[in-house]
Chains A and B, each alone.
Chain A
Amino acid sequence: MRGLMLFLSFLFYQIGFYPALGTNVPPTLVTDLSKKIISINVNFSGSKFHIFGAVKRGFSQNASIDQPPFDIMIEVIGPPVSLDFFKKERLYGFWINKKIQSFNSIPSFYSISGTKPLEKIVEKKAKKENKIGLFEQIKASENLAIDDNILSKIALTGKSKTTYKQESKPIIFLENTLFSTEIDLPTDLVEGNYLVRIHLIRFKEVLATQEDIIFVKKVGLEQWINYLAHKNPAVYGLLAIFLAIGFGWAASIIFSRKAY
């Protein structure tokens, strides 16, 4: 946390004394993540990371205090997975799953947060143009037309509580310049690159977008087991068998000694 504050004060310093260029340079973003890698180890139980940054203004915008405020929107998009989308329907008294859509490459995780309620920051058109929002991301990565009606139902699945967050924690935005937010990652993370997209918005127009990547990977025992289970399943199966027999055998030796 102290490191983060130091970094932020350093940013403040840099921006405050930005050389006067005299030209109207459009504002851009300077951003960073508190972590670049998230490791899933034996006692992993979800994770968090911070996204922080600052708005870097062109000269002409620098001094004026009565500038209309900026807005920031931050998206985190997990690596693609294949998912089937089901609707539960009643059949002879049983609740059965009926497949309504197959996704071949849908983000495994999605989170979006903003400095204001999201619908007040951008409009549909800008969202579409800049591929902002879960539905736009799904459409972009699926590469096929999907009924909006089906997409809107994704928000109703249990997954939406942890995996597809339509409105995460709000972004803290100081002096119309510095911003930071915290992203919660659930325990059922898919390994791979998580794309972080930070949008600078004013008057519902996207002025700049900055992208960064956070890498999630299993490490140590978890990595080894997972690798073996998927790359060499026969060996893994035999290992599971020998481990179980070994434990059972060891137990029978230990306890039969105790009994006599």
Chain B
Amino acid sequence: MQIYLPIAEMSVNLFLLVGLGGIVGVLSGMFGVGGGFLMTPLLFFIGIPPAIAVASEANQILGASTSGAIAHFKRRTVDVKMGLLLVLGGVVGSAFGVELFGILKNLGQLELIIKICYVFFLGIIGLLMFVESIRALRDIKKNKKRLKKRHHSWMQGLPLKMRFRASNLYISSIPALVIGFFVGILAAIMGVGGGFIMVPAMIYILGMPTKVVVGTSLFQIIFVTGTTTFLHASKNFSVDIVLATLLLIGGVVGAQIGTRLGLRLQSEQLRILLAILVLSMCFKIALELFVAPQEIYLLLRRI
């Protein structure tokens, strides 16, 4: 059954979209990843224009993160004060990213930049996941636990120190603002929540305790993807509500299945498969950038 996407101005199979949403939902439920960095490239592969894919995916992530954020909020595993700082940085970053997005689009270089970003980040995430899961497997065998580094010495010297009760920290607010800003740009340009950057940054740079990390990152993602959706819709007219809703329907159902599957299966072993999937997507996009294109000339709509 074909469905016409009013903003993308193209016709796509309805079940393909819901199915893609579902598969990515299962993966994100299983591994606790947001799924934006999986979904947006998949949308490129099925022919959705990158500008529409990115903006609509930000909208979808907003919906997909809502239930998780509510659950963490109820369990009080959100550092609201830290979250608000990350949101502040994120909103500014998002506004900056959306502006940049519009400029790049008019220059005709948007696709290129989005794809370069994806090759870069998918490559890094894939490799890290791969190494991490192999190490984790080895650690299970040797029954060792690795220690985490906390508190970098250079951070102690930064001004604007604040107390964060929930995280039991007294640190400068500048790193949180910078991390938020960076994640905001990624949300606007890549259509991702940015959890994959934020979660490690909160643990390793800010030194936050792991129990509040996921909740706080979801808290930030909700506000930043919301802002990104609004700005893309009003500046670039590139949010396709029909696309986002269909992906969301598949996504929320898939995430529930994934969460239940994740509890039963050994996710550390499956994580290698996810790493391989991420690396192969990185490879496919890289090919498009480096291999001679079939069509040398192209026409693009101006907004």
Binding site for B on A (CB under 8 A): 40-46, 81-88, 90, 93-97, 99, 102, 153-154, 156-159, 187-189, 218, 221-222, 225-226, 229-230, 233-234, 236-241, 243-249, 251-252, 255
Contact = CB atoms under 8 A, between A and B. Distances in A.
A230 B297 contact: no
Contacts of B3: 42-43
The CB with the most chain A CB atoms within 10 A, among B6, B245, B290, B302, is that of B6
A244 B60 contact: yes
29 contacts: A43-B3, A44-B2, A84-B302, A94-B116, A95-B293, A96-B112, A97-B112, A102-B302, A154-B297, A154-B299, A157-B295, A157-B298, A157-B299, A187-B9, A218-B6, A225-B6, A225-B241, A226-B7, A233-B235, A237-B231, A237-B233, A241-B59, A243-B244, A244-B229, A244-B245, A246-B63, A248-B66, A251-B256, A252-B71
Given A237-B234, A247-B249, A248-B248, A87 B296 contact: yes
Given A95-B292, A96-B112, A99-B108, A247 B10 contact: no
Interface of B: 1-4, 6-7, 9-11, 59-60, 62-67, 70-71, 107-109, 111-112, 116, 226, 229-235, 237, 239, 241-242, 244-245, 248-249, 252-253, 256, 289-290, 292-293, 295-302
Contacts of B7: 225-226, 229
A156 B249 CA distance: 39
A249 B241 contact: no
A129 B125 CA distance: 61
B300 A84 contact: yes
A218 B71 CA distance: 41
A248 B252 contact: yes
A247 B248 contact: yes
Contacts of B2: 43-45
B143 to A, nearest CB: 32
A245 B69 CA distance: 11
A97 B289 CA distance: 11
A255 B2 CA distance: 29
Contact of A245 (B63, B256, B296, B302): B63
A239 B4 contact: no
Contacts of A218: 6
A188 B12 CA distance: 11
A229 B6 contact: yes
Contact of A229 (B226, B239, B300, B302): B239
A230 B230 CA distance: 13
A243 B109 contact: no
Given A233-B234, A233-B237, A239-B241, 10 more contacts: A88-B293, A97-B112, A102-B302, A158-B295, A225-B241, A237-B233, A241-B62, A244-B66, A247-B248, A248-B64
Given A83-B302, A225-B6, A226-B6, A244 B62 contact: yes
Contact of B297 (A95, A153, A221): A153
A225 B245 contact: no
A176 B185 CA distance: 65
Contact of A249 (B67, B107, B108, B301): B67
Contacts of B60: 244
A244 B297 contact: no
A93 to B, nearest CB: 6
B interface secondary structure, majority: helix
List of 6 A-B pairs having minimum Cβ-Cβ separation, nearest first: A248-B66, A252-B67, A244-B63, A237-B233, A251-B252, A237-B230
A95 B290 CA distance: 6
A225 B243 CA distance: 12
Nearest to B62: A244
Contact of B301 (A83, A237, A252): A83
A97 B10 CA distance: 23
A230 B252 CA distance: 29
A102 B109 CA distance: 15
A87 B300 contact: no
B245 A243 contact: yes
Contacts of A90: 292
Contacts of B70: 249, 252
Contacts of A251: 66-67, 252-253, 256
B6 A241 contact: no
Contact of B233 (A46, A93, A189, A233): A233
Contacts of B6: 218, 221-222, 225-226, 229
A240 B241 contact: yes
A157 B249 CA distance: 36
Contact of A86 (B9, B248, B297): B297
B63 A236 contact: no
Contacts of A41: 4
